[in-house]
Structure 1
Amino acid sequence: MTSQKEAVAVLVERLGYVFKNKQLLDQALTHASGAKCKVAGSNERLEFLGDRVLGLVIAQLLYEQHEELPEGDLARMLNTLVRRQTCAKIGEKLGIPDALVLAGKGNKRTVVTDNIVGDACEALIAAVYLDGGLAAAHSIIGEHWAGFLKQAPDMRKDAKSSLQEWAAARSLAVPSYETIDTTGPDHAPEFKVELKVEGRDPAHGVSTTRRTAEQVAATEFLRRERIWK
């Protein structure tokens, strides 16, 4: 079984940052349940700071990478990228769960939840920021959030809503969806939907539900027309 010390070494390697002040790293990985002093010794204060640093860096990256998007879309993407579930996924990849300092041992060890991992991930960002400055934090966030940033355009809102707003802004008729084919057995049908937008070529979507097929068609249209990149 990997020791906590070994797990920390793995985490540091995956993180790609060497701490000058290792106490910051230790504190970032110390849950309140395992801290001798909850306020000064746990990662709660670092988590508070890391949340703000993460928000700033992600906001800047979105602003720079998506010049064509309005504030509302950027805000929705930001909320998804900085939420605790996203931080928890990245924390899992870094190996945070095994590196945490928690109360108890073995079966009596504090259960590691997504909230705990997500908070520790934000605390880790704060530790990097305090140890190496904003440039170091920016580099770490840019690297480990890269995959999520690539998916960011699809996080804005559902494609049908985006398309309807786009059409309304141009005084076009409401886009229409029609199921033009259904294949497969009754227990696993597949629907093909045709989307019609005034003055544009139709777009098509295929999925196991009509609703999803409509979303696929709307997404295909938005990307084909370069409304979504």
Structure 2
Amino acid sequence: MNFSMNLSIYPSVIPNEIRVDIENMQKRLGYHIKNINLLLQALTRQSAIRQGIHYASKSNNQRLQWVGSNMFHSGIVYKLYEKYANNSYISTDYLNKVAINITSNMALVAEIGKRIGLASCVFRGSDEEIITSEILAHTFLAILGSITLDDGGQKAVHDVIERHWKWFLDNPEESFKRRPSSFHTRMPPRSATMPSRQRIRSSDFPNHGTEVL
């Protein structure tokens, strides 16, 4: 998919640097959310609303997280079925355990969120200065929810899952082995200070060594 950065689609109250970060995040994600309101809601934590961050959505991302969580599970099941439906050597019980392992591994969801640069895009209040793996995982699921309700629908969610969980879909046994630990990233909210870009290197998984600026 080709991406062209269009910063004019964002409300003028959103600082230009944040717009650039969001555009770059979507490029790494592999999907560009067309409904800007859904995108901004997916990035908005309740703490941002509570603090009155002026460029945050008026609605927090919890409902989108709920949608995304369900779509994540059904998407993993769909992709596993698609790959192994005709493989008589792999039982349905085994595939069910693989699906549970993958979808319950929120540290991996957070790791993927970190890798695409999601940490610098989360709208939050000053009481959430530290970006935890939980915050990143919940925000990533909200992004999946916004993709579901956007023009892309289920197919776009499946494509994102294939892109970022391909290693585990192609090597289901790895879901029983690789469980990254949680992490914390100290990054002041944009409303307080505009942080310099952080270099984060992901090396917990094969082919996951890309650098996020």
Q: TM-score, normalising length from structure 1?
A: 0.61
Instruction: Return the alpha-carbon distance in structure 2 between the equivalents of residues 45 and 119 of structure 1.
Output: 11
What residue is the counterpart of 1:164 in the other structure?
Answer: none
- With 90-99 and 77-86 compared, the bigger mean Cα shift is at 77-86
Assess if the C-alpha contact under 8 Å between 1:77 and 1:152 holds in 2.
Answer: yes
Q: Aligned partners of 1:3, 1:144: CA distance in 2, in Å? A: 25
- Give the alignment of 1:170-181 within 5 angstroms: none
Instruction: String of CA shifts for 1:88-135, please: whole Å, max 9, x gaps.
Output: 11111111111100102xxx6531100110011111011111002111
Aligned residue among 26, 45, 51 for 2:63:
45
Q: 80, 102, 106: which is aligned to 2:124?
A: 102
Alpha-carbon offset, residue 12 of structure 1: 1.3
Amino acid at match of 2:35: N
Report the counterpart of residue 20 of structure 2 in structure 1. 6
* Gap runs ≥5 in structure 1: 158-229
Cα displacement (A) at 1:71:
2.5
Match of 2:103 in 1: 82
Aligned length: 153
After TM superposition, what 4+ stretches of structure 1 lie above 2 angstroms from structure 2? 2-6, 153-157
CA deviation after TM superposition for structure 1 residue 156, in Å: 4.9
Q: How does 1:46-65 map to 2 (within 5 A)?
A: 46-65=64-83
CA distance in 2, matches of 1:116, 1:82: 16
- Choose between structure 1 and 2: higher helix proportion: 1
Deviations 1:150-203 (A, max 9, x none): 33223358xxxxxxxxxxxxxxxxxxxxxxxxxxxxxxxxxxxxxxxxxxxxxx
For the 8 Å contact 2:65–2:139, the answer to whether it is kept is yes
- What is the identity, as a one-letter code, of the residue corresponding to 2:148? Y
Pick one of 16, 21, 25 that aligns with 2:30: 16
Q: Please report the RMSD computed on the Cα atoms of aligned residues, expressed in angstroms.
A: 2.4
Percent of aligned pairs with the same amino acid: 27
Q: Helix, strand or coil for the counterpart of 2:130?
A: coil
The higher-RCO structure (CA 8 Å, 6+ apart) is 2
Quote how far apart the aligned CAs of 1:55 are.
0.6
Structure of greater Rg? 1
Would the aligned equivalents of 1:46 and 1:126 in 2 still touch at CA under 8 Å?
A: yes
Cα 1:155/1:18, change in 2 over 3 Å? closer
Take 1:22 and 1:141, find their aligned partners in 2: how far apart are those partners?
Answer: 21
**Contact 1:81–1:149 (8 Å) recurs in 2:** no
